[in-house]
Amino acid sequence: MESAAEKGVADVREGSISEVVRTCWVIYQKAADAYRVLANNAMSDEISHLWRSMAEGMNKHTLYWKKISERVEKDPTVEALGNPHAVLDQLRDVEAKIDTIQESCTAFRSVMDYFYLAYSLEVQLIHPVLCSLPESIMSVPDREVVKWDYQTNLKSFLAGMKKHCEPHYLHVALMDSLERMWGQNKRLAKQNSVDPVTGAYNRKSLLKIVSSYSSLAERDGHNVAIIMIGVENMDELYRTFDMKTADEVVQRFYNGIKPGIRVSDIIGRYDFSSFLIYLSKVHHQYLYEIAHRFSESSQSIHKAGFIMSVHIGGSYGPIRGEAGQRIGYYLTRARDCLMRAKLSRTQRIVIE
């Protein structure tokens, strides 16, 4: 029988951030189900309690992703990942492995067999993509409604394994390996600063750099600008071609617009379908010139008759007062201008 989250996956756009989030929801829900089955088959009340507590932990993570899913559904423009298609492929692989684990939940008879099975489940749940997603999804409001902290679950499992498994060197090595994998994956998630497809700054690192630069602009009294370049048919690109070919087209697009910016400007991939450029010491006319340059360069990017449909939004002005709040204001205006450009039948560039 399908869960509510699994049914929802079929209702969202293939490869979208909504589908990524809902797949995470399904993964933790299946993990909770697996631990409940282990609890029902436990050979002692103490071990049954351990598995039930693990299931409760999974329920908290299920609720976290459910809340994120609700936020994304309210704002369909939210896209916090550079390539949700690649992320979704990895998540589906994790989900398939958890399905296999679920099928074996009642097949064993010894305590150790069930701990080995739970260990296999935990290995999947600390997969790098699951560690990095909470770091990547930044634009969903109120994302801390449910605190995401998988380390608590992991420590509970390791404590239970240490208590109930014989002190064999293999068990010690397995526990050390699991803890080490978790630490490495979390460090990698925090260190990741580039979009894997283009090599550009990703959203998280881009916004940090822009925040620092805007503070300098406030000190020096310079105007700053935000330009957002949106590719309207990015989803169609990935539906038309295989992922490797589509990624190559996106790389060519990025390589085509990058030479158009000055050394002092900052460019990064803001989300799946748009790039953000931060410019300092700029005036209104220059913004239109560079925006037209970006638009023209995108026309040469095509593959087997497929042409990128590009719209551009921009905003500019001085930084006064709280720099972080002011740059957030220009970012919001640039996004609004981009949406207006997409909705307009006559304007492909809107800057104000």
On whether the CB atoms of residues 315 and 291 are closer than 8 A, the answer is no
Average pLDDT score over the chain: 82
Per-residue model confidence (pLDDT) at position 135: 66
- Exposed (0-12), middle (13-18) or buried (19+): which is 209, by Cβ within 10 Å? middle
Residues near 30 by beta carbon (within 8 Å), at least 6 away in sequence: 3, 95, 98, 99, 102
The sign of the CA dihedral 20, 313, 323, 224 is positive
Dump pLDDT digits (tens) for 286-323. 888 888 888 887 777 777 778 888 999 999 888 776 65
Rounded distance, CA 82 to CA 111, Å? 43
Alpha helices in the chain (DSSP H): 4-9, 17-40, 45-74, 84-103, 111-125, 128-136, 150-164, 169-191, 203-220, 234-240, 243-257, 284-298, 323-343
Per-residue model confidence (pLDDT) at position 31: 95
Per-residue model confidence (pLDDT) at position 56: 93
pLDDT band at 142 (very low <50, low <70, confident <90, very high): very low
Amino acid at the residue 326: R
pLDDT band at 137 (very low <50, low <70, confident <90, very high): low
Rounded distance, CA 260 to CA 262, Å? 7
Rounded distance, CA 59 to CA 32, Å? 6
- Exposed (0-12), middle (13-18) or buried (19+): which is 144, by Cβ within 10 Å? exposed
Rounded distance, CA 113 to CA 131, Å? 27
pTM: 0.70
Dump pLDDT digits (tens) for 223-244. 889 999 999 888 888 889 988 8
CATH 3.30.70.270 fits 203-351, yes or no: yes
Residue 48: pLDDT over 70: yes
- Exposed (0-12), middle (13-18) or buried (19+): which is 166, by Cβ within 10 Å? exposed
On whether the CB atoms of residues 226 and 312 are closer than 8 A, the answer is no
Rounded distance, CA 233 to CA 303, Å? 13
For the chain, what are the domain ranges?
4-191, 203-351
Q: Residue 96, CB half-sphere, CA atoms under 13 Å: how many?
A: 6
Worst-scoring range by mean pLDDT, 144-153, 212-221, 276-285? 144-153
In Å, how far from its chain's centre is CA 272? 10
Mean pLDDT along residues 328-341: 90
